[in-house]
Structures are given as C-alpha cells and as structure tokens.
C-alpha cells in the first residue's frame, strides 16, 4: 500500500511583518493621543470663556433684578459685576456685589473691603487669562508697556441692562468695549470673550500664542 503524504504550507506573520504592524499601530496611536490632547485642551479653554460669559450674564441679571448679597443678607440694592486683575498669575476672576455703591467710579473691587465676594472662579491647570483690553476710542490692554497692576470691572447698575466698564488706570470714564482672552495650557489656542457697553456678550476662538496679537481684532 502506498501513501501519498502532502505537506501543508503554514501561513503566518514573519518577524519583520510583525514589527512593521506594531510600528504602524504605535504611530497611529501616538497621532490619536496627540490630537485628543489638543482637542481636550481647546475644549477646556473654550469652556472657560463661556464660564466667564456666564458670570458676566449673572452679574447683569442680578444687577437689574433683586438679589441679596452674601455678606449683607439684608442688602437687596447692590449692583453686581465681574472683576479681572493680575491676581495669582491671572488664574482667577470674581463675581462680586458692589455693596459700597461706588459703581466702579471711585474704586475697584476690593476683596478685603466692603464689597461682597459672590463667587471666585479659578482656572484649572496651566490655562490662564492671557490679557484683557478696553476700548475708549483706541484700545488699551493689560500687557501693554508701562501698564502696572492692571485691573478691570464690568458692572451692571439697576435698572439699566447696559454694562459699565472701568479699569486699566481709569475709574472715571467708561469703556465702550471689553475683551478678555483665555489661553490654553498648550498656548496654541485663544478663546475670547467680548462685552460691549450695551450689554452684548460674544465668544470666539482663534489660533495664536502667548507673545503675539493674532487673536486681537485691532
């Protein structure tokens, strides 16, 4: 009896093919993780601008309505505002009640003064307020040469829904427009909050870096 043995050729990955597949997978994974990190960073900085816009809108609503303050529960007549300043490396901004009644014309918000701190908003991670600017005919920004300890208040005084914008060395004359820029922790995305003296609020984003003025409208 004669047997006809046929050998089957087994197929599989060679070592070179396996190394190539692993390399390709590693490259794709790296690109995906990099883009996810950038997307997540951009999303956070955009959300910060929306959070600041919400604080400004809250100040507007509280300012033209009736709301008691935290420090003086029997006080229902205070104006409300949002305060920006170079505090803690531009990591915070504040929603406050103008208990002193100055309306921003004689003084800025003072944490240790008579005004009521309603809410402190702190920026997470390496995100920060890159700059804030006021328009009084021309533009003046917090990072302009010669500007020391820049401060800015956006205040709403009952019953007017318009914004009273003060700061950057002038607490008497109001500005027609304010712009606050938030920088991502990577520094490659800027989210911009714009508030006009008519009370309008808008948000947009742009590519930029911490040493350029690419994101500015002016």
Asked if 163 and 196 touch (Cβ cutoff 8 Å), the reply is yes
Q: Decide if 7 is inside a domain.
A: no
Q: Decide if 11 is inside a domain.
A: no
pLDDT of residue 197: 92
Q: What is the CATH number for 127?
A: 3.55.40.10
Domain that holds residue 132: 21-207
pLDDT in tens, 3-48: 555 555 556 567 666 667 676 766 666 565 555 455 556 677 788 8
**Whether the predicted pLDDT of 203 surpasses 50:** yes
Share of the chain above pLDDT 90, in %: 12
pLDDT in tens, 104-152: 445 456 656 677 778 888 887 777 888 888 998 888 888 876 777 788 8
Asked if 192 and 203 touch (Cβ cutoff 8 Å), the reply is yes
CA–CA distance, 200 with 85 (Å, rounded to integer): 21
Write out the DSSP string of 86-128.
Answer: S-TTTTEEEEEEETT--TTSS----TTSSSEEEEEEE--TT-E
Q: Decide if 182 is inside a domain.
A: yes
CA–CA distance, 81 with 55 (Å, rounded to integer): 8
pTM tops 0.85, yes or no = no
**Whether the predicted pLDDT of 209 surpasses 50:** no
Q: Decide if 153 is inside a domain.
A: yes
Q: Decide if 43 is inside a domain.
A: yes
Per the structure, the count of domains in the chain is: 1
For residue 28 the two structure tokens come to: 């794709």
pLDDT of residue 30: 59
Q: What is the mean pLDDT of the chain?
A: 75
Q: Decide if 73 is inside a domain.
A: yes
**Whether the predicted pLDDT of 195 surpasses 90:** yes
| Residue 57 binned pLDDT confidence (cut-offs 50, 70, 90) | very high
CA–CA distance, 79 with 110 (Å, rounded to integer): 15
Q: Decide if 84 is inside a domain.
A: yes
Q: Decide if 1 is inside a domain.
A: no
Question: SS3 helix, strand, coil % of the chain, rounded to 5?
Answer: 25, 35, 45
Walk across the sheet containing 79-85 and list its strands: 116-122, 92-98, 79-85, 151-156, 164-167, 170-175
């Amino acid at each position: 009896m004669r047997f006809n043995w046929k050998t089957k050729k087994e197929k599989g990955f060679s070592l070179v093919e396996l190394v190539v597949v692993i390399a390709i997978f590693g490259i794709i994974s790296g690109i995906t993780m990099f883009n996810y990190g950038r997307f997540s960073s951009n999303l956070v900085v955009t959300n910060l601008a929306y959070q600041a816009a919400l604080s400004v809108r809250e100040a507007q609503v509280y300012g033209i309505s009736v709301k008691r303050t935290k420090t003086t529960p029997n006080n229902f007549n205070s104006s409300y505002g949002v305060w920006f300043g170079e505090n803690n490396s531009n990591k915070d901004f504040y929603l406050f009640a103008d208990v002193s009644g100055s309306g921003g014309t004689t003084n800025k918000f003072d944490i240790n003064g008579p005004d009521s701190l309603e809410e402190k908003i702190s920026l997470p991670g390496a995100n920060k307020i890159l700059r804030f600017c006021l328009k009084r005919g021309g533009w003046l920004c917090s990072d302009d040469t010669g500007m020391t300890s820049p401060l800015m208040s956006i205040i709403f005084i009952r019953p007017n829904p318009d914004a009273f914008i003060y700061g950057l060395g002038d607490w008497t004359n109001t500005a027609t427009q304010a712009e606050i820029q938030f920088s991502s922790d990577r520094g490659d995305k800027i989210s911009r909050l714009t508030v006009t003296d008519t009370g309008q609020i808008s948000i947009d984003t742009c590519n930029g870096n911490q040493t350029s003025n690419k994101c500015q409208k002016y």
